[in-house]
Amino acid sequence: MKTPIRLVIADDHTLFRQGLRSLLGRRPGFEVVAEVERASDLLPTLSSVACDVLLLDLDLERPMLNDIEALSQVTRVVVVTGSERTKDGVAALRLGARGVVQKRSGIDTLIEAINAAAQGLVWTPPEMQAELTEQWNAGADAQLTAREGEIVRCVALGLRNAEVAKRLSITEGTVKTHLNNVFQKLGFRDRVELARYAYRVGLLGLHD
């Protein structure tokens, strides 16, 4: 039997938490292991239970956007928000969130995001993708140097570090240094996320 995805729900509205727990409990493959209503309880809770995905509201008793980077080092974060501001979703993704789901979405949408996050993927709703792409191009992509953009493109094409070094006529150590800088700038942790980013923002169409 497949191990259920273990979830922590962080939201300061009790009815929302209870309703979400009830909805997820009706679906096979999910287990809500804890509920949190205060930001100060988040890290202690995550250190005391086994959590695969954290469902995080952007506003508990205080704004949570700046906490995402630290939380994403502990578990995979899916933001569940009532905010309609695309910039909040973009910021959450840059800081390490694996998905952004608006509260007006249906439970099937949330489950899709949870499953993607549990697999180490990044998920965004279709209606946000055009705006996200535009903002990524204007924001995160602008942070990359020309060389870093070339290296990201090579990684997205499936090249290993040694192959990237050969193609760009640089050392493998230089490739590793550039990649570390890219991961730090964009908030990604592995090459899969980086490749998805490259496809999303159209980096594969650059530097031909």
134-145 tens-digit pLDDT: 655 555 555 778
Q: Which of 16-20, 149-153, 176-180 has the highest mean pLDDT?
A: 16-20
> How far separated are the first and last CA of the chain, in Å rounded?
48
Is residue 102 classed as helix, strand or coil in its secondary structure?
A: strand
- What is the model's pLDDT at position 120? 81
Contact between 57 and 87 under an 8 Å Cβ cutoff? The reply is no
Q: What is the pLDDT of residues 60-75, one digit of tens each?
A: 888 898 898 889 889 9
Average pLDDT, integer, range 161-184 = 90
Structure tokens at 57: 């509201």
Where is pLDDT greater, at 94 or 51? 51
Nearest to 81 by CA among 89, 71, 91: 89
Contact between 141 and 201 under an 8 Å Cβ cutoff? The reply is yes
Would you identify the CATH topology of the domain 5-126? Rossmann fold (3.40.50)
> Which string of b and e fits 113-136 if b means at least 16 CB within 10 Å?
bbbbbbeeebbbbeebeeebbebb
Would you identify the CATH topology of the domain 140-205? Arc Repressor Mutant, subunit A (1.10.10)
| Percent over 90 (pLDDT), the chain | 42
Confidence band of 83 (pLDDT split at 50, 70, 90): confident
**pLDDT at 55 > cutoff 90:** yes
Report the alpha-carbon angle 65-139-194, nearest 5. Answer: 80
- What is the model's pLDDT at position 33? 95
Contact between 74 and 98 under an 8 Å Cβ cutoff? The reply is no
Contact between 141 and 149 under an 8 Å Cβ cutoff? The reply is yes
Runs of H (alpha helix) within the chain: 14-25, 42-48, 68-71, 86-94, 107-118, 126-138, 146-156, 161-168, 172-186, 191-201
Q: What predicted TM-score, i.e. pTM, was given to this entire model?
A: 0.67
Task: Give the start-to-end residue ranges of the domains of the chain.
Answer: 5-126, 140-205
Average pLDDT, integer, range 27-38 = 94
Contacting residues for 8 by C-beta, under 8 A, at least 6 apart: 32, 33, 34, 35, 36, 45, 46, 49, 51, 53, 54, 55, 75
Is residue 137 classed as helix, strand or coil in its secondary structure?
A: helix
